[in-house]
Amino acid sequence: MKNKLLDQIIVDLVAEHQGGEVFFDHLDEIIRNNVSVLDAVASMIPSGCTVILSGRFGRIFSNFIRSTILWDWEVISVNGNLRHGEAVDDISYMEFKNKQIVFVDDSFYKGRTRDAIKAAVELNGGTLSHTYVVYDGSKDKDENVTSLYRFFE
């Protein structure tokens, strides 16, 4: 799914930072503060599913969807820093059986955050069906990840 505004933002950031952690820090900041990009992410998510969000992006996206658009998702927000080995907040109180569960995040690279969410969902009897992200920087395309921008395309 292409987004011309996001395409230009990324081209400008790559020219300025040539990738790396500074690039991602700036990209994440722009994503969190751009209503058009947040709206484009929301438009990718199927209706009626359970949406799991994490960290700072998750808090901002959750506030955005609750305040600006009509939505019919069950939203679960968990802690961040999952790609660095932090344990996912306890979600054992949730009923995941027979639900379409998706993860939404700002970026995807190695899949560590998604994998932590997937493991927590499976531990509680559910299945993570898909991941939706703004920016996919992974070299190998994962068929279960849909992004607004994929770097290696």
Give the Cα separation of 10 and 3 in Å (integer): 11
> Residue 31 pLDDT more than 60?
yes
pTM: 0.90
Q: What is the DSSP letter of 18?
A: -
The predicted pLDDT at position 80 comes to 75
How large is the average pLDDT for residues 36-48?
92
Domains of the chain: 4-150 (3.40.50.2020)
Residues 23, 25, 28, 32: is their CA dihedral positive or negative? negative
